[in-house]
Structure 1
Amino acid sequence: MYVQPLSFRQLFNLKPKTLETRITNFYQSTQNSNITIQYILAIKARNQLGAAEFKYFLKDLVRDLFMNTKATRSMKRYFHYFEDYFMAPEWINLSSKVFPKRSFGETIVSTVRSLLPFGRPEETNEP
């Protein structure tokens, strides 16, 4: 079933309950976390423009997207806009999940490799 994406007019004119239903239905039918995050970010902008009823809009969906799905480029890009949706310990754990650091062993190996010359010098038989 094709689900029509929301237009900017719908995002900035529809009532909160209608938007909540449409965005939730869109995500459930398409499983497209990138566009869903962008929709919610647009609603956060609407909240900043003065529509106070949109504070923490679709908080459960945002938490589910970031905590239970694989981090996409779009999620990484807009990650910091959703800090207020999570408690401090959750945010720290989520930060390490979204932006994983290489393990200590991998860091050591890459450092040692960067210090070694690219090729072994050929032995010469000169006296």
Structure 2
Amino acid sequence: MNEQLLTCDQAFSLKPETLERRIMEYYQESQNSSVTIKYILALRVRFKLGAQEFAHILEDLVRYLFMNTKATRTMKRFFYFFEDYFQAPEWKRLKLRVFPIRNFGEKVFSVVRSLISTVRPEETTET
């Protein structure tokens, strides 16, 4: 499956229904979540350029990929472009799942900062 699924012209000219069908078929055949996310991101660009019918294109597939498959480098790279596909509690859980190390580091940093701010040097009294 080294053949390109969509050309640039096709991604920016075909109807949403046609694009949805082709991308869904591609994912079902290849199970390649990275390339699938890239195609959906191209459609998000089309939405941002003014095509309102692409607002939440392939929402179910995006939700499935991020919530049920292993997070690939591509998924991590484009993760924040799909924030509006998820509700706030889901997004929070998903961030913990996709970026476990980063979240651990942030928590350690906040705990250390809180410990440092609560420890105050004793005031020296002059006699």
Structure 1: distance between partners of 2:91 and 2:97: 10
* TM superposition shift of 1:47: 0.5
Per-residue CA shift, 1:33-54, capped at 9, x if unaligned?
Answer: 1111011111010011111100
Correspondence 1:21 to 2:21: yes
Q: Does 1:33 align with 2:33?
A: yes
Q: What's the counterpart of residue 79 of structure 2? A: 79
**Cα deviations across residues 28-74 of structure 1 (Å, max 9, x unaligned)?**
00111111101111101001111110000100000000000000000
Query: Computing the radius of gyration over CA atoms, which structure comes out larger, 1 or 2?
Result: 1
Equivalent position SS for 2:50:
coil
Percent of residue pairs identical: 58
Name the SS of the counterpart of 1:13 in structure 2. coil
* Structure 1 residue ranges without an equivalent (≥5): 108-127
Q: Measure, in 2, the Cα distance between the counterparts of 1:75 and 1:103.
A: 19
CA contact (8 A) 1:3 1:26 kept: no
What's the TM-score once normalised by structure 1's chain length?
A: 0.77
Q: Structure 2 regions of 5+ residues with no counterpart?
A: 109-127
User: Which residue of the partner structure matches residue 113 of structure 1?
Assistant: none
After superposition, the C-alpha distances for 1:61-118 in whole angstroms (9 at most, x for unaligned) are: 00000000000000000000000000000000000000013869xx8xxxxxxxxxxx
Question: Partners of 1:21 and 1:65 in 2: how far apart?
Answer: 16
Aligned residues: 105
CA distance in 2, matches of 1:44, 1:68: 21
Where does residue 65 of structure 1 map in the other structure?
65
Contact 1:12/1:46 (<8 A) preserved: yes
Q: 1:1-127 alignment to 2 at 5 Å? A: 4-101=4-101
SS state at 1:57 partner: coil
The root-mean-square deviation of aligned C-alpha atoms, in Å, is 1.9
Distance in 2 (CA, whole Å) between partners of 1:67 and 1:57 is 17
| TM-score calculated relative to the size of structure 2 | 0.77
